[in-house]
Structure 1
């Protein structure tokens, strides 16, 4: 029996299509990733995220058992899960603007439209690594900070001279 190599850079690929999951795995291997797990339905994905920590989760929007948006929302709400803060890249074959916004609002970190090339996947992985975003916990949202850029408001805090409304 082969032993599983677990590294700090593990990736979970979740897609109902085993062919698509395998294709993404091949892309990841071409990018130097070695520790890759595949899951083909939501129950297996849930088992995997509870089993061990991952560096990134790549999930299809149309995952069998629970779509990617619902799964991400559930993952972000699971305070006892070691992968709660893990970046999530969502793949989708035909997303519209509303679906992309729903994914963002569920806590998805990056988005890929199918079909995509290994270079597109690499761009998302590099973005996640180079520009980590803080995790926001609020009543209506748990997930990575949705703001992608910082705005310099100068060195003077405009709130200093203002009194608190009470």
Structure 2
């Protein structure tokens, strides 16, 4: 894995957390780290720099991580709706995890962070990217980790209509595919 080629944006209003993450990223070879103290500043940076991965806190003063994600994924003037995002938080209740997932984050990392956890999430994003889907109520990475070829049951929600998205085209999901 060539971490040295990644451009990583850290979004956190806590300077100590940014310093810790910068040290972890530098230790694994990341050379291009950009910092923002809230979602608004992060959006501005995304417009100026071609960022490869965003690591963002969930709870911040100003524009928080959830609102930031909604703007990145759903805003018509989003600089990069496909950018991979890891949400980092000390608020790991099931409700908050689901809120982040539903906002379109790719991965979730609970504080206290470890170098191993950061490396694992970055590796997942780069080596095993999930396709993006679009439904009436969601746009972001496919929330399923993998397709199970042995699954023969009904779709969980027949009314769901998902569209897989890539940078070039959109394709309708096969009607028998589980959502």
TM range (shorter): 0.7 to 0.9
Aligned with residue 47 of structure 1, among 44, 49, 57: 44
Q: Give TM-score scaled by structure 1 length.
A: 0.83
Task: Indicate conservation of the 8 Å contact 1:52/1:82, yes or no.
Answer: no
Q: Is the counterpart of residue 132 in structure 1 residue 129 in structure 2?
A: yes
Deviations 1:119-149 (A, max 9, x none): 1100001111121111112220010111101
Contact 2:36 2:42 in 1 (8 A): yes
Contact 2:40/2:68 (CA < 8 Å) preserved in 1?
no
TM-score by length of 2: 0.78
Residue 66 of structure 1 is matched in structure 2 by 63
Of 14, 31, 34, the residue aligned with 1:34 is: 31
Residue correspondences, number: 148
> SS of the counterpart of 2:50?
coil
Match in the other structure for 2:86: 89
User: Does the aligned pair in 2 maintain the 1:9–1:55 contact within 8 Å?
Assistant: yes
Stretches of structure 1 that go unaligned for 5 or more consecutive residues are 1-6, 155-166
Bigger RCO of structures 1 and 2 (CA < 8 A, at least 6 apart)? 1
Cα distance between partner residues in 2 of 1:57 and 1:70: 14
Aligned to 2:102: 105
Matches of 1:132 and 1:13, distance apart in 2: 20
CA distance in 1, matches of 2:97, 2:23: 25
Q: Paired residue for 1:152?
A: 149
- Structure 2: where are the runs of 5+ without partners? 152-179
SS in 2 for 1:115: coil
Cα distance in structure 2, aligned partners of 1:149 and 1:107: 17
Aligned residue in 2 for 1:4 = none
Q: Pairwise CA RMSD of aligned residues?
A: 1.6
> Is residue 114 of structure 2 the alignment partner of residue 121 of structure 1?
no
Q: Distance in 2 between matches of 1:28 and 1:78?
A: 29
Q: Bigger radius of gyration, 1 or 2?
A: 1
